[in-house]
């Protein structure tokens, strides 16, 4: 039996320590545009046909796993170049089966890169 959730879109959610400071990264570096009006401690951004909810929390940056993934297809390298030009530093992880090609972890057909927001939330870009 399928639940109603199976037919509904989900929203990625990321905690930040200070929403006002985080806005500079999300809006100026990532180029995301707010969906609705200004809220004191929550901001929703459009990202493709989905959304990213950013909110203030004392627990910001404590997740040690990927929070958000962007499937970029053939645009992966161009997006990496753009973000690097804006000062984003990419992470390098030692992973079984991965070869490092600059900032990209190359698994053969799948190529991915990770970076963090100012609070330490981990984001992933992939060629899928």
pLDDT per residue rounded down to tens, the chain (128 residues): 677 888 888 899 999 999 999 999 999 999 999 997 767 789 999 999 999 999 999 999 999 999 999 999 999 999 999 999 999 999 999 999 999 999 999 999 999 999 999 999 999 999 99
- Give the CATH number of domain 10-126: 3.10.180.10
DSSP letters spanning 16-61: ES-HHHHHIIIIIIS--EESS---SSEEEEEETTEEEEEEE-TTTT
Report the predicted TM-score, pTM, of the whole model to 2 decimal places: 0.91
DSSP-derived secondary structure letter, 5: G
Domain spans of the chain? 10-126
């Amino acid at each position: 039996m399928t639940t109603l959730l199976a037919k509904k879109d989900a929203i990625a959610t990321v905690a930040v320590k200070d929403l006002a400071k985080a806005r500079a990264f999300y809006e100026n570096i990532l180029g995301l545009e707010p969906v609705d009006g200004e809220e004191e401690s929550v901001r929703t951004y459009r990202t493709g046909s989905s959304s990213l909810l950013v909110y203030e929390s004392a627990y910001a940056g404590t997740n040690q796993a990927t929070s958000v993934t962007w499937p970029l297809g053939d645009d992966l390298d161009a997006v990496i170049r753009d973000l690097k030009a804006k000062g984003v530093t990419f992470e390098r992880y030692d992973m079984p089966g991965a070869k490092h090609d600059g900032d990209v972890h190359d698994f053969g057909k799948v190529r991915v890169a990770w970076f963090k927001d100012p609070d330490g939330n981990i984001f992933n870009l992939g060629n899928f």
